[in-house]
Amino acid sequence: MNRLSPTNRPSNAAMPSYDRSTKRIGIIHFGLGAFTRAHQAWYTDSAMAAAGGDWMTVGVSLRAPDVAAQLNPQGGLYTLAVRSGGGTHHQIIGSIAEVIVAPEHPDRVVALLAAPDTALVTLTITEKGYCRAGDGSLDLDLAHSGSVYRYLAEGLAGRRAAGLPGLTLLSCDNLADNGRQFRALVAAYLAVYDAELGDWVAQHCTFPCSMVDRIVPATTEADRVEAADLLGLRDEALVVTEPFSQWVIEDDFAGPRPAWERVGAEIVAEVEPYETAKLRMLNGAHSALAYCGLLAGHAFVHEAVADVGLRTMIDDLMRGEAAPTIAAAPGQDLDAYADALVERFANPKLNHKLIQIAMDGSQKVPQRWLATLAANQRAGRRCPAILTAISAWLRHVRGDNAARWGAVNDPRADELKRAWDVHGADGIVRALFAKGGLIDSDWDPDAEEVGLISRQL
């Protein structure tokens, strides 16, 4: 079977409506994984179709050649399969020009960063890619070994030498306050690499915060076969996603940008309210569904949310417990957001596994639940839904789900098991959550809250 390419195009899927051959490179993206192709590249493709502009993207892989092997033989084209209960919509995305494997072609990466047409650098390099030490500061040893910082430093030095404008450096990773964190990390690197360049970057470059959201399951061979049967072409870079997508970006750009707001992105003065809503409503409900759903015998999110008792619980969690703790931005409708989340959770076509969401709970619980509990405690309100979810998480790390769903996958699994062995059901809540407990938070459970959790263990 022929492979998707600029000369092999399907007749039954939407193609880019703009002429790719006339578009120049405007964006350099580090970490071009499936999420970016379902999210940022889709927004950029849509923006060029709606408003024009030279915003083709070159993806940069810092290590592995896999994505380059998928996309480059296809001229950067790939299929986005959007799945919902009503079926699957296939669209060919054209905003990716090529993918460069940085260790193989470092000079090309630097040259593109220093090119006059380049205006934005965007990143989805995962938390690990930022080379942070345990306290959040830059680990210079990691940063000097093939990280994004080296390429940025050399590219920005080239721009300064050529008298070119600075760049917008936009992190799209799920880090709290990601733009400000990235700015501090770049400054720390440049303070060692070239202090004068650091001063130039501080004056000429910007680091907007952003919040991204779209569920993108791993593409399977069955997904590729299904798409090939429908389109008549093989696509090694196929990406599967849901209809919902959200991108909130702080309005802090060093120069021009795509008209992303024309196609659904939100350009706002402050990202924090949207980030908080995602953590406490979406992520908080997801984790509650995961732990309570696994105990109830469900495998997928859509199965758990179809359980009337669990559906009621997460509705209470989102609307009655999380939403009152969020200072909404102008125009941010938290009730409508909750409606959209329930609709997403119920999508039967994504098969989003609860056991995947349940991973690394000790790292997620503080942001997803404990911050909400602390805010409600200060206001004199109870959170029975979150307390029920905490009891389900405690049962999960005790091993109650292991026989059916496998061993606990958590970096603190051994530590949590020892806590269970020492304190048992009567003492585990205070051992973990009281002041000085194993899980650091501003929430200090009172006797009634401890009792509510303990009775469910």
pTM: 0.90
* Structure confidence at residue 12 (pLDDT): 87
Structural domain harbouring 46: 20-268
Strands 87-93 and 78-84: antiparallel
Domain assignment of residue 94, yes or no = yes
My answer on whether 204 and 316 are in the same domain is no
Give residue 386's pLDDT: 98
Residue 284: phi, psi to the nearest 5? -65, -45
Does residue 150 form part of some domain? yes
pLDDT tens figures, 32-72: 999 999 999 999 999 999 999 999 999 999 999 999 999 99
The token duo for 79 is: 């299929």
Considering the domain architecture, whether residues 251 and 286 belong to the same structural domain is answered as: no
Residue 32 falls inside a structural domain: yes
Residue 43: what pLDDT? 98
pLDDT at 11: 84
Predicted local distance difference test score (pLDDT) of residue 146: 81
Residue type, 71: L
Q: Report residue 366 as tokens.
A: 């503080």
141 and 153 fall within a common domain: yes
Q: How remote is the C-alpha of 314 from its chain's centroid?
A: 21
Q: What is the pLDDT of residue 198?
A: 98
pLDDT band at 144 (very low <50, low <70, confident <90, very high): confident
Question: What's the chain's average pLDDT?
Answer: 96
Residue where a domain stops, chosen among 246, 268, 290:
268
pLDDT at 194: 96
What does the block give as tokens for 296? 């109830």
3-state secondary structure the chain: CCECCCCCCCCCCECCCCCHHHCCEEEEEECCCHHHHHCHHHHHHHHHHHHCCCCEEEEEECCCCHHHHHHHHHCCCEEEEEEECCEEEEEEECCEEEEEECCCCHHHHHHHHCCCCCCEEEECCCHHHHCECCCCCECHHHHCCCCHHHHHHHHHHHHHHHCCCCCEEEECCCCCCHHHHHHHHHHHHHHHHCHHHHHHHHHHCECCCEEEECCCCCCCHHHHHHHHHHHCCECCCCEEECCCCEEEEECCCCCCCCCHHHHCCEEECCCHHHHHHHHHHHHHHHHHHHHHHHHCCCCEHHHHHHCHHHHHHHHHHHHHHHHHHCCCCCCCCHHHHHHHHHHHHCCCCCCCEHHHHCCCHHHHHHHHHHHHHHHHHHCCCCCHHHHHHHHHHHHHHHCCCHHHHCCCCCCCHHHHHHHHHHHHHHHHHHHHHCCCCCCCCCCCCCHHHHHHHHCCC
Residue 292 tokens, joined: 């309570």
Kindly indicate the confidence band of residue 218, based on its pLDDT and cuts at 50, 70 and 90: confident
Final residue in a domain of this structure, among 227, 245, 268: 268
Q: Is the pLDDT of residue 118 over 90?
A: yes
Please report the pLDDT score of residue 145 as a whole number. Answer: 80
Closest CA to 245 of 69, 135, 78, 82: 82
What does the pLDDT read at residue 350?
85
**Same domain flag for 73 and 128:** yes
Q: Model confidence over 219-252: pLDDT tens digits?
A: 999 999 999 999 999 999 999 999 999 999 999 9
Burial degree of 309 (CB within 10 A; 0-12, 13-18, 19+): exposed
175 band by pLDDT with thresholds 50, 70 and 90: confident
Residue 424 predicted with pLDDT over 90: yes
Q: What's the pLDDT tens digit per position in 305-329?
A: 999 999 999 999 999 999 999 999 9
* 278 and 248 in a common domain: no
Closest CA to 81 of 276, 267, 231, 263: 231
Categorize the per-residue pLDDT at 13 as very low, low, confident or very high, splitting at 50, 70 and 90: confident
What's the confidence (pLDDT) of residue 86? 87
For the segment 161-186, the average pLDDT, to the nearest whole number, is 96
pLDDT at res. 22: 96
Range in 128-142, 182-196, 245-259 with the lowest mean pLDDT: 128-142
**Is residue 11 in a domain?**
no
268-296: average pLDDT: 97
Q: Quick one: pLDDT band at residue 134, thresholds 50, 70, 90?
A: confident
For the four alpha carbons of 366, 368, 373 and 375, in that order, the dihedral sign comes to positive
In a domain? residue 123:
yes
Domain count, the chain: 2
Confidence (pLDDT) at 8: 93
**Of 253, 268, 283, which marks where a domain is finished?**
268
What pLDDT, on the 0 to 100 scale, is given for residue 362?
94
User: Is 310 contained in some domain?
Assistant: yes
Q: Are residues 231 and 295 in the same domain?
A: no
Whose CA is closest to 216, among 30, 352, 31?
352
- Quick one: pLDDT at residue 82? 96
Claim to verify: residue 82 and residue 188 sit in the same structural domain:
yes
| CB 154, CB 190: distance < 8 Å | no
Tell me the residue type at 289.
Answer: L
Pull the structure tokens for residue 171: 């992190």
333-359 exposure pattern, b = at least 16 Cβ within 10 A, e = fewer: ebeebbeebeebbebebbebbbbebbe
Q: What is the pLDDT of residues 353-407, one digit of tens each?
A: 999 999 999 999 999 999 999 999 999 999 999 999 999 999 999 999 999 999 9
Residues 6+ apart with CB under 8 A from 354: 289, 290, 293, 294, 298, 299, 300, 301, 304
Nearest to 205 by CA among 136, 119, 127, 267: 119
* pLDDT higher than 90, residue 14: no
- Whether residue 361 lies inside any domain: the answer is yes
CB 117 within 8 A of CB 155: no
Same domain, 300 and 446: yes
Measured distance CA(205)–CA(252) in Å, rounded: 10
Residues 264, 334 within the same domain: no
Residues 6+ apart with CB under 8 A from 338: 281, 315, 318, 319, 323
Residue range 63-88: mean pLDDT, rounded: 95
pLDDT at 254: 98
Q: What is the pLDDT of residue 176?
A: 85
Q: Look up the CATH number of the domain holding residue 376.
A: 1.10.1040.10
pLDDT at position 85, please? 86
Q: What confidence score (pLDDT) does residue 323 get? A: 98
